Amino acid sequence: MNRLCLALLAASALLLPGAALAQRMLNQPLAPPVSQPTAVPVTLSAGLEGDPAPLKKGLVWRVYADDTAAEKAVLVRKTDEPNPVITLDPGAYIVHVTWGLASATRRVVVSQTPITEKIMLSAGGLRLGASLGDMRIPKDKLTFSIYVAVGNDPQGRVIVENVRGDDIIRLPEGQYRIVSNYGDTNATTSADVRVESGKVVDALMRHRAATVTLKLVANPGAEALANTTFSLVTPGGDIIREAIGAFPSMTLAEGDYVVIARNGGRVFTQEFKVKSGVDRDVEVLAR
């Protein structure tokens, strides 16, 4: 019995230091948890150079992660709100904004505090229309194409097609060539226009053209013959337009023309002149 008590006392002496250490560890305060980075609000807006007022519509924002190791840009956010507030984790980003065909890019570094970024665009607006003499041409009869210069090419490269009259086209500041099409044949005109930042430029194109109605008739003033095929050519023989029907109409640039009418296996021709602003019937006599 005495030997058993001595063994228990010896074991207790060995365990006491470890127990004391454990007790001291329990009494120590816990280490604070490692804080995780929180998303930060980033407020974005855009304006035009020369006009400090923020743009209220027509903007598209894209935010990309600024990661040089990535094979392609990673899109983080996209919005068409004019003045968005987006939340981003701390880090570097590329902010890209477009307004029509104008755009701008900025690198933004997000830390721990909210930030506000306003990007200024070097851009303006272009509003197009056309007239025939003193008469304004209805916009539903017009289409426009916009070109930018490329090297020594006088026409340049088309950047916008089928623009309707009175629409405001948003463009980067610069020089442009405008081609106006009146109708769908050969009544066109062109002009060079400069777009200035912060301004809307009104460009009124002037056409010299008229609308003609083609008819194949047995006698002057008689009823037009149905099932007639018309070919409109220049005096040099270049085909401008072909049409089928009793009396097709078309808008033509001022100048000289030849019309060839085919009906019932017979062919008839007539020369005529188009004078700007003078609409008329062109009768081809079937004789």
Of 96, 121, 146, the position where a domain reaches its end is 121
Q: Are residues 149 and 107 in the same domain?
A: no
Q: Are residues 114 and 133 in the same domain?
A: no
Q: How many CA atoms lie within 13 A of 184 on its CB side?
A: 7
Q: Are residues 159 and 116 in the same domain?
A: no
Structure tokens at 245: 């029907």
Query: For 122-154, what is each residue's pLDDT tens digit?
Result: 999 999 999 999 999 999 999 999 999 887 776
CATH number (domain holding residue 280): 2.60.40.1120
Q: Cα(106)–Cα(91) distance, rounded to whole angstroms?
A: 14
pLDDT at 231 over 70: yes
23 falls within a domain: no
Average pLDDT over residues 109-118: 94
65 falls within a domain: yes
6 falls within a domain: no
Of 207, 235, 252, the position where a domain reaches its end is 207
Q: Confidence band (pLDDT; 50, 70, 90) for 5?
A: very low
- Considering the chain, what is the average pLDDT of its residues? 88
Query: For 172-193, what is each residue's pLDDT tens digit?
Result: 999 999 999 999 999 999 999 9
CATH number (domain holding residue 193): 2.60.40.10
Q: Which residues contact 189 (CB under 8 A, 6 or more apart)?
A: 130, 179, 180, 182, 205, 206, 207, 208
* Residue 242 domain boundaries: 209-285
The total number of structural domains in the chain stands at: 3
